[in-house]
Amino acid sequence: MSGKLSGKTAVVTGASKGIGAAIAKHLAAAGAKVVVNYSSSPAAAEEVVAGIAANGGSAIAIKANVADPGEVQQLFAEAVAAFGPIDILVNNAGVFDFKPIEAIAPEHFHRLFEINVLGPILATQEALKHFNPAGGSIINTSSTVSTHSPAGTGVYNATKSAVDGLTRTFSKELGPKGIRVNSINPGPTESEGVHAQGLIDIFKKLGEQTALGRIGQPDDIAPAVVYLASDDASWVTGQMHFISGGDR
């Protein structure tokens, strides 16, 4: 397989379903060798790997909880053993759980911050030990919630605002190493998680309020990641990319 990412190795966290799965497939279609990380859905992760292989790509599935330093270390050790130095890291693993201020508890706070904020930090730290000396690209998955700040999303909003902040700060720290850091900020997007939490009707209504009048799909999001991972974005870093149907 050849393409704009031919010869590159990509690690995508939280890639067994939804946006992460679409990102993994699109990166592979562009020629990258892809590590499909998952934490609790091995069958779904292997299905993503099988789909990539069926289309002529290279991928493996590796289990790791991104909030666990030891598991993150093992994730990258296995990734490098399979495919060599890292060129692309997509910090996509995340959880969303909306609660009004009266319902926020320490457990809710810590769960969201450990996965959504500590996770990207740990993955980035470990990836840097194995990055291609020539540099590469890190893409963080944020959300339009970080700027909309809708009622009832306080802690989730705070985590995604933190992701935006990490993106801007890390871009300045890693620029001298030739590593670009950007975020994607999807709008309302249909996914297994949205259905599982019974939010699909709400998300569809939000989608209808966008300029393009519909809810997003994972395949609407993934091409932007391919762009940011490629040399097409060689002078783009520290930026938030709102992929939201005009919902900003």
Q: What is the dihedral sign for C-alpha 239, 240, 242, 243?
A: positive
Distance CA 53, CA 40 (A): 22
| Marked catalytic residue, from 98, 131, 156, 170 | 156
Distance CA 119, CA 125 (A): 10
DSSP letters, the chain, are --STTTT-EEEESS-SSHHHHHHHHHHHHTT-EEEEEESS-HHHHHHHHHHHHHTT-EEEEEE--TT-HHHHHHHHHHHHHHH-SB-EEEE-------B-GGG--HHHHHHHHIIIIIHHHHHHHHHHTTB-TT-EEEEEE--THHHH--TTBHHHHHHHHHHHHHHHHHHHHHGGGTEEEEEEEE-SB--HHHHHTT-HHHHHHHHHTSTT-S-B-HHHHHHHHHHHHSGGGTT--S-EEEESTT--
Decide if 38 is catalytic.
Answer: no
Distance CA 28, CA 214 (A): 27
Residues with a known catalytic role:
156
